[in-house]
Amino acid sequence: MRNAPTILHLDMDAFYASVEQASKPSLRGKAVVVGGLGPRGVVATASYEARVFGVHSAMPMAQARRLAPNAAYLVPRFGLYRSISEQVMALLHELSPLVEPLSLDEAFVDLEAGEVAWDAGSARSVGERLRADIRGATGLSGSVGLAASKMLAKIGSEQAKPDGLVLIEPGTERAMLGPMSVRTLPGVGPATGDHLRRAGIATVDEIAEAGEDELVRLLGRAHGQALYAMALARDERPVVAEREAKSVSVEDTYDVDIHDRLRVGMEVRRLADRCVRRLRAAGLSGRTIVIKVRRYDFSTLTRSETLRGPTDDPAVVREAAARLLDSVDTTGGVRLLGVGVSGLADYTQEDLFAQAAGEAAEILGEEEAAEPVAEQEAVSERRWPAGHDVRHAGYGHGWVQGSGLGRVTVRFETPWAVEPGRVRTFRVDDPELEPVDPLPLVQG
């Protein structure tokens, strides 16, 4: 590890929800939940006001509605999120050639490689200036962690939330980590945390005290050795600049092991659809479908199938993933599932399987790493997703508050308005109302 806190981790605060609040004056300071609004919808992001009620990402939308019935529930606008992310990433690239994006709203930066920081004082100045530049360009806040390693910089940004900066001085890492929960360390989810707790290990200090051999016995060699190194604040991973993608994949880790085979199959179908969203967003297709299954005992299995040609058809990927799942024994429970596509190309072929011809799903937007996206609205309502932008010939720019029973309710306001806008209801086929692109958050 280096001896100066020159690795920066930026994490935008409640990114999707914050974008929605910034673009809709009537929602500022209010509980906002972004995700899919269908019966099997999942929360992508919740504003800090919604988190007070216990709403969090990856929660079933039905549960979120029970916890926060008065929140605003909106369908994601990934095109807008992506454009704002590009603005933020451009600011990071001004600092250093070594920028490692983790998602639309999160990235590591090697400040030393950019020769903009060499000690704690210069690193803090860069971090504060970055936060101010992001607010000036987008109107949004981001939290920054600065440390001598990637692991600690990420922990720092989490401590800084929301809208703050935490710098961890080299040499203080062990003392800072010691009393923290084992869940602070990367890769320690609810299941691993419970497993360690049953062994009498609840804090990072207790991981270090247990020793590497005991952790290997409890968790297996790879996981045990990695966790012991992290408890000692050892992390030599470099910041790696963007590379050409060799595969596109998504995966989810579940708080409670899944035992129901039908549920496992449904999760694989959902992951396949998410993977295709990413493929399409990148303008890619692929020939090899891969599934990943981590079982209750932490054993991990992968299965793959290579098609006759590249595809980005969701039905084809779903069917291939389902066939692969049939060859995996999930008895005892599953804690992680993943679906990926490799053998990438920048073109596609027609459907490879005749049975898929009538099953291709219409996909709205893209979903981020870390955060599952919901089922989309019924076909009859797709034209007016809640939260999306519209324009009326007489009233101007607005956004959809809700639709159903042949009606659509719109609030007419722009991101730059001081006061909330007025609300009007129209027929869904009103010729004067049309979907439009979002307005910029900052008027310039």
Residue positions annotated with a catalytic role: 106
Sheet of 142-147: strands edge to edge?
99-103, 106-110, 7-12, 142-147, 165-167
Give counts: helices (H), strands (E), the chain: 13, 17
Q: Where are the alpha helices (DSSP H) in 96-203?
A: 120-138, 150-160, 173-177, 190-198
Q: Is 115 left (phi over 0), alpha (psi -120 to 50) or beta?
A: left
Pairing relationship of beta strands 389-392 and 433-435 according to DSSP bridges? antiparallel
> Cα–Cα distances in Å, from 282 out to 247, 371, 419?
11, 18, 38
Query: Rounded to a whole number, what is the largest CA-CA distance in the chain?
Result: 72
Amino acid 253 reads T
Q: Where are the alpha helices (DSSP H) in 8-71?
A: 15-23, 48-51, 61-67
Residue 336 CA to residue 225 CA, distance in Å, equals 20
Residue 90 CA to residue 83 CA, distance in Å, equals 11
CB neighbourhood size of 256 (10 A): 10
